[in-house]
Structures are given as C-alpha cells and as structure tokens.
Amino acid sequence: MNLHELTIKKAHTLLKEKEISSQELTRAVLDRIDAVEEKVGAYISVARETAMAQAKIADKAISQGNILPLTGIPMAIKDLMCTKGLLTTCASRILENFVPPYDATVVKKLKTQGAVIIGKANMDEFAMGSSNEHSAIKLTHNPWDLTRIPGGSSGGSAAAVAADMCIGSLGSDTGGSIRQPASHCGVVGMKPTYGRVSRFGLVAFASSLDQIGPLTKDVTDCAMVMNVISGYDSADSTSVPEDVPDYTSFLEDDLRGMVVGIPKQYSSAKGLDPDVSEAVKNAVEKIQGLGAGCVEVSLPHTEHAVAAYYVIAPSEASSNLARYDGVKYGYRDKNKKSLMEMYKSTRSRGFGPEVQRRIILGTYSLSAGYYDAYYGKASQVRTLIIEDFKKAFESCDVILSPVAPTPAFKIGEMVDDPLTMYLSDIFTLSANLAGIPGISVPCGFSSNGLPIGLQIMAKHFDEGKLIKVAYNFEQSTDFHKKKPKL
C-alpha cells in the first residue's frame, strides 16, 4: 500500500511500531499533492517546510516513546481556521494576505498531539456555498469526476481526503458544509453538536450555526479526531462544559436495541434523485438487518427550514462581515479619497458575488421595520424545528436521511441559479438550526459512479450513537474502500 493511502488508525499503528516515520509519511503525502493537485485543486496553500519540520519533531517524540493518536499524522485544515504564521484567506480576496498571529483552538489541539499541518484547504468564500465554486482563489474538482463539484463549503477538505492528499482533515459546517462534500466525495464527515468543539479562531460566518468537525477516510478515524478536537474551551463563549466520552469506545459491532427513525417528510422531498433514494433505502434495510428497529418519525416544519436558514445565516453573516472594512486588516482600496468611498470600494472589490448577495439579504432582514417580519419570524421557526427533533427522538435513537438530494452536479450547472443551489442543503441544514450532531457515511454510488452518502442525526451530545451506527453500517459494506482513479 502507498503511504498516502493509509488511514489515521493504520498510520498511527505503523508509526508506533516504528515501521514508518512521520517524515516518510509526510513526504509521501506531499508527493501525492504534487502528483494530483493540478487536477483536483484541493489546497489554497501547502505548508511544505513547516510540515516537514513538524514531522521531524514528531519522529523525535516517537523515538522517545511519546506517541499520541495523531502524532506525526498529516492533516489538512479548511482555510477559515486561524493558523499561526500560515496564510488564512477564507478563499476571499479581502483576506488574501492575512497571516494570523495565533492558532485556532482546534489547530492548537492538533499541534499539542504532534499532528503535521500539511496545508490549508480550498472552500467557498467565507464558507458561503454548496459547491466550492464561490472560492475567489481557485476551483476544486471532485476526485471521482473532475467535471463535477466536490460539494461545499468544505470541498477542498473533502476532496483532499478522497484523493489521499492528506490522511485526515478538518472542515466547518454551517448548513451542511462538512456532510454534503463528504457525501459527494465518498468520505466520512461529521458535524458535532453545537458547542461540542471550540469555535475560537474559526473565522465566523453565522455564529449560532457554525461548527468545526472532521472529514476522514473511515468512521474509526472520525472517532479518533473527535477525541482530540472535542471539549470545553473558555475562550469560546458558545462552548459547552460537557464531559467528552472516548468516541473510539463506540466502535463496537452490535445495533440490537437501537431504534432508527425515518422522517416521512424526506421521502417525498422535491428533486430527490432516484439513485440517492435507492441507496438510502438500501442503507436503512442494511441497518435494520444489523439488528436495529425502525420507526417512522415526523419533522413537520422541514419545509420551512431552508427559508428560515437563509434569513438567519445571512443576517449573522451581515453582522460578522461588517469588520472587513479596509481599516483594521485585510484588503483595502487605497485609491479612494473619502472614507465612505473607501468602504464601498473595498467591500465591493474584496467580496465575491455570493458573499455580497448574502450580506445584502442579511442586512435587509435586520433592517428597521423588517426585523420582526424576517429575522424574528425565522427564529420562531427555528424553535419549532428544535421541538420537532426533540419529539422525534422520543421514539428513536438516531434519524436516517439522505445527505444531498442528488449526487455531485457538474461544475457551472447551478452557478447562475442560487435558489436551486440553496435547496441542495434541504436535508442538512435542519441539524444546524437545531444544533444537533450529524454524520455522512458512504452508502452507495449513482448509476454513473458518483458517491452517495447516508446522513445519521442524533440528540445533542449523542455523537457516540452516530459513530456506533455509522461504524456498524460501514463494517458491513465496502463503499468506503473504493477510491477515485486519478
């Protein structure tokens, strides 16, 4: 096996037994990036020198018997998490030269483990998008079919994992931005419970929705990364002081006694591709065959979720992105004479069209005379969606659904149709509005060979159940073993 194809678990074992070194593993990943990055476009920046330096330090630690689960493991970081001394652009012109003076908490945790930061992954600008076509830096292609999107906004992170251009990666999920690209790229992606993973150092899009999580080659790796990044952080006011279990303890073969819920609203969703419907149906049957019970549940306010999300998220974005004004840091148009002209020109040139669209939507929703009608009403709908999930979980342990209504679509196919693009998040964004955890695990392929993911959702802080169900399903299938041919 090529070293770049290793999982985190396998690489950890080989490093521990000193059969390979972190420097060999890191070099193999960098060679893989050299070989396929031109086709895939997963990275905004590759940290070659610092990565090799970190690998050398990891090897020294291992030689002294100090090895933790992620020691010496090359990881990719979505380019909206602050990395000290490394460019952090959010795939935007307005931050194209920003080098943070500190690390995000999750990055600090990876470094404490001795992980190797291999580079910063491409994304939709400021995480606003479902296709990765809104990056101001470059286009990322789906490794399974280079004419198709990898999903968004964590498309670079998912594509890097799928193409073996890192051993694991971190993404962020505001309305499906980890799970949807994981589904499209045939990898595992988890959005933890809101407050489970620190958001300190994550450049904010929508503060009440954003959550950092892992994108990995299998469920075992997902559990290993969750063990490292989870936990309370006093630097993040939204972090929850809840005990963190050992997520690898949920990697056990037995679903007897568990009950899965199937939302009746999802099967009749508009635009659901027959291949996706069939793959998810087969996955549900497989999970039942592994001993789980199955009940129908109702999430009656699902039809309002997209509308509520696209008021709440842009409103919070409008507020969060007000700081990019050409004064404090980032891009500035220096050719304007007055302050107001400089503001206008800086923001018009610095932000791409999708970010501008959402800032305008959000500013309108928050403006005097419209706040109650839009933001206030959307917040009430959000409460109803939270109640829907609470009621549904009274009769089941987890809820199963598709991740995306279709497999990955062609690059350019929906870029001029933002409404259809927004509807592609119909199955994922309810979990963000409710703050509950969700995972995407590969569950099949479309008729033209594109990966399809199964979404599993659970109650707040019940990530362990997600891992258990996902692991059992994964172990009984071989979808996760298939690789794109690049």
- Contact assessment for residue 88 and residue 78, using Cβ atoms and an 8 Å cutoff: no
Contact 170, 177 (CB under 8 A): no
The helix or strand, by DSSP H or E, that contains position 211, with its residue range, turns out to be strand 211-216
In 3-state terms, what secondary structure has residue 77? Answer: strand
* SS3 annotation, 10-42: HHHHHHHCCCCCHHHHHHHHHHHHHHHHHHHCC
Q: How far apart are CA 11 and CA 167, in angstroms?
A: 8
CB-based contacts of 462, cutoff 8 Å, min separation 6: 193, 397, 398, 437
Give me the residues paired with residue 452 across strands. 444
Q: Distances in Å between the alpha carbon of 5 and those of 215, 353, 472?
A: 15, 37, 22
List the one residue out of 367, 359, 354 whose CA is nearest residue 343. 359
The helix (run of H) or strand (run of E) holding residue 479 is none
Greatest Cα pair distance in the chain = 70
Compute the C-alpha angle 159/161/164, nearest 5°. 105
Catalytic residues: 78, 153, 177
- HSE-CB at 262 with a 13 A cutoff on CA atoms is 18
Q: Which residues pair with 456 in a beta bridge?
A: 400, 439
Q: What 3-state DSSP class applies to 265? A: helix
Q: Which residues contact 416 (CB under 8 A, 6 or more apart)?
A: none
- Look-up: residue for tokens 């298939």? 482
Structure-derived torsion over alpha carbons of residues 325, 419, 174, 119, reported in degrees to the nearest 10: -70
CA–CA gap between residue 344 and residue 88 (Å, rounded): 23
Q: What does the CA dihedral 24, 27, 29, 31 come to, rounded to 10 degrees?
A: -130
In 3D space, the residue among 240, 238, 201, 244 whose CA is nearest the CA of residue 223 turns out to be 244
